[in-house]
Structure 1
Amino acid sequence: MNAPSIYVKIPFGSGTHRFKIVKAKRWGAIDQLVLQSLAQRPATSQQLADMSGLPRQLVVEILISLMQVGWVEISNGLEGFIFQATIRGIAISTYEDLPVDSEPLLRVRSFLIDPITEQCYRLERKKKKQTYQVYNYGRAQSLLGEYKGYTTEIQTSSTFAPELVDIFNCVANDDEDVNGFEEEVVRRSYSDSLKYAIASVSSENDISGVPEISEELKEAILAAADLQREKIRLLGNQLGKAEIGQGYYEARVSPRSLPVHHVESQSVTLVLGAEEHAQHIYHLIESAYSRIVLHSTFINAECVDEMLPALLDAVRRSVQVDVMWGQTEPDDPRKFQAFKLVVDKLEQLQKTIDGEGLGTQFRFHRTPTQSHAKFVIVDTPSGEWAVTIGSCNWLSSRFNRFEASVQVCDQRVVADALSIASHLAMGKQGLSNELSRELAVQSTILSKRKSVDKVKNKADLIQVQLISAAEHHSFCKKASDEAVGDIFICSHRISYAGDRPVLTPFKAALRDDPHLSIRVAYGRSSGSMRTSEANILNKELSSLNFKVIKADDPQIHAKVMTWDEDNVVITSMNWLSASSAGDVYGELGVFMKGAELSSKIRDAFESSYC
Structure 2
Amino acid sequence: MSVVVGIPILKDARRFHFEKGRRWSVFEHAILEALVKRNYTIDQLHIESALPRRVIVEILIRLMRSGWVEIRNRQSSIEFQSTPIGAVTATLLELPPVTEPSKRFIGFAIELVSGCIFYSRDLTIIKDGDWERVTSGRPSIQITAPQPDRYGALNIRRLSEVLLDDDEELIRVDLNEWKPAKRLALVTVVGKKIEGLGSEISEELQKSVTDAAIKAIGKRGHTQGLSLPVSRGTIFRSSEYETRPIQFRADDIIMSGPDHSALLNEAARVSKHRIVIHSTFVDYEKAVAVLDTLKPALNRNTHLDILWGQSFEKDGLNKTRQAATKLHELIVRDGLEDRVRVHLDSTRSHSKILFFDRGEPDNFNVIVGSCNWLSTSFESVEASIRLRSNRILSDICFELAELAKPQDGQITDFCAEFIRLGRSLGRKEEASSNATAKIILGHEHGHYVLRARDEAQKSILMLSHRLGGAAKPNLIPLAVAARSRNLSPEVYFGRFNDDVDAQLANDGIFEFREAGVIIRAIQKPRVHAKVLCWDDRELLITSNNWLSADTSTGTPHRELGILISSTSAARHFRDRFEAQTKYA
TM-score normalised by the chain length of structure 1: 0.80
- Tell me the equivalent position of 1:572: 543
What SS does the aligned partner of 1:585 have? helix
Residue number among 470, 488, 495 corresponding to 1:498 in the alignment: 470
Identity of aligned residues (%): 24
- Residue 467 of structure 1 deviates from its aligned partner by 1.6
What SS does the aligned partner of 2:519 have? strand
- Tell me the equivalent position of 2:423: 444
- Residue 373 of structure 1 deviates from its aligned partner by 0.8
Q: 1:448 to 1:135 in 2, by over 3 A?
A: farther
- Residue 18 of structure 1 deviates from its aligned partner by 1.9
- Residue 339 of structure 1 deviates from its aligned partner by 4.9
- Residue 432 of structure 1 deviates from its aligned partner by 3.4
Q: 1:505 to 1:564 in 2, by over 3 A?
A: same
- Residue 607 of structure 1 deviates from its aligned partner by 0.9
What SS does the aligned partner of 1:373 have? coil
Alpha-carbon distance between aligned partners in 1 of 2:125 and 2:97, rounded to the nearest angstrom: 33
Q: 1:111 to 1:466 in 2, by over 3 A?
A: same
- Residue 162 of structure 1 deviates from its aligned partner by 1.7
- Tell me the equivalent position of 2:197: 210
Alpha-carbon distance between aligned partners in 2 of 1:261 and 1:49, rounded to the nearest angstrom: 45
- Tell me the equivalent position of 2:458: 485
5+ long unaligned stretches in structure 2: 47-58, 70-83
The Cα offsets for residues 241-271 of structure 1, whole Å up to 9 and x where unpaired, read as: 4x55352111234123422223233478221
- Tell me the equivalent position of 2:525: 554
- Tell me the equivalent position of 2:330: 349
5+ long unaligned stretches in structure 1: 38-42, 69-79, 125-129, 233-240
Q: 1:163 to 1:489 in 2, by over 3 A?
A: same
- 8 Å CA contact retained: 1:186, 1:432: no
- Tell me the equivalent position of 1:371: 349
- Residue 59 of structure 1 deviates from its aligned partner by 8.8
What SS does the aligned partner of 2:314 have? coil
- Tell me the equivalent position of 1:199: 188
Residue number among 488, 491, 516 corresponding to 1:545 in the alignment: 516
What SS does the aligned partner of 1:134 have? strand
Residue number among 298, 303, 313 corresponding to 1:315 in the alignment: 298
What SS does the aligned partner of 2:482 have? helix
Alpha-carbon distance between aligned partners in 2 of 1:338 and 1:23, rounded to the nearest angstrom: 44
- Tell me the equivalent position of 2:241: 259
- Residue 214 of structure 1 deviates from its aligned partner by 1.3
Alpha-carbon distance between aligned partners in 1 of 2:277 and 2:448, rounded to the nearest angstrom: 26
What pairs with 1:204-603 in structure 2 (closer than 5 Å)? 205-212=192-199, 213-232=201-220, 241=221, 243=222, 245-253=224-232, 254=234, 255-256=236-237, 257-266=239-248, 269-328=252-311, 330-332=313-315, 336=317, 339=320, 342-343=323-324, 345-354=326-335, 358-382=336-360, 383-450=362-429, 461-495=434-468, 497-513=469-485, 515-580=486-551, 581-603=553-575
The Cα offsets for residues 153-172 of structure 1, whole Å up to 9 and x where unpaired, read as: 21112546222332232112
Q: 1:572 to 1:229 in 2, by over 3 A?
A: same
What SS does the aligned partner of 1:517 have? coil
- Tell me the equivalent position of 2:141: 152
Alpha-carbon distance between aligned partners in 2 of 1:117 and 1:451, rounded to the nearest angstrom: 30
Q: 1:66 to 1:285 in 2, by over 3 A?
A: farther
Residue number among 162, 165, 172 corresponding to 1:170 in the alignment: 162
- Residue 486 of structure 1 deviates from its aligned partner by 1.5
What SS does the aligned partner of 2:575 have? helix
- 8 Å CA contact retained: 2:467, 2:493: yes
- 8 Å CA contact retained: 1:330, 1:339: no
Alpha-carbon distance between aligned partners in 2 of 1:342 and 1:582, rounded to the nearest angstrom: 25
The Cα offsets for residues 60-99 of structure 1, whole Å up to 9 and x where unpaired, read as: 994872689xxxxxxxxxxx9895459xx95755xxxx64
- 8 Å CA contact retained: 1:110, 1:171: no
What SS does the aligned partner of 2:558 have? coil
- Tell me the equivalent position of 1:23: 20
Q: 1:597 to 1:186 in 2, by over 3 A?
A: farther
What SS does the aligned partner of 2:305 have? strand
Letter in 1 for 2:7: I
Alpha-carbon distance between aligned partners in 1 of 2:106 and 2:92, rounded to the nearest angstrom: 30
Q: 1:22 to 1:123 in 2, by over 3 A?
A: farther
Alpha-carbon distance between aligned partners in 2 of 1:308 and 1:245, rounded to the nearest angstrom: 63
What pairs with 1:50-61 in structure 2 (closer than 5 Å)? none
TM-score normalised by the chain length of structure 2: 0.84
- 8 Å CA contact retained: 1:12, 1:197: no
- Tell me the equivalent position of 2:117: 120
- 8 Å CA contact retained: 2:125, 2:183: no
Q: 1:144 to 1:331 in 2, by over 3 A?
A: same
Q: 1:368 to 1:11 in 2, by over 3 A?
A: closer
- Tell me the equivalent position of 2:107: 110
Q: 1:221 to 1:46 in 2, by over 3 A?
A: closer
Alpha-carbon distance between aligned partners in 1 of 2:540 and 2:205, rounded to the nearest angstrom: 29
Q: 1:501 to 1:26 in 2, by over 3 A?
A: closer
Letter in 1 for 2:246: E
The Cα offsets for residues 216-248 of structure 1, whole Å up to 9 and x where unpaired, read as: 11111111111222232xxxxxxxx4x553521
Structure 1 residue 33 and structure 2 residue 30: aligned?
Answer: yes
Alpha-carbon distance between aligned partners in 2 of 1:306 and 1:61, rounded to the nearest angstrom: 51
Structure 1 residue 100 and structure 2 residue 98: aligned?
Answer: yes
Alpha-carbon distance between aligned partners in 2 of 1:48 and 1:528, rounded to the nearest angstrom: 74
- 8 Å CA contact retained: 1:325, 1:369: yes
What SS does the aligned partner of 2:500 have? coil
- Residue 341 of structure 1 deviates from its aligned partner by 5.9
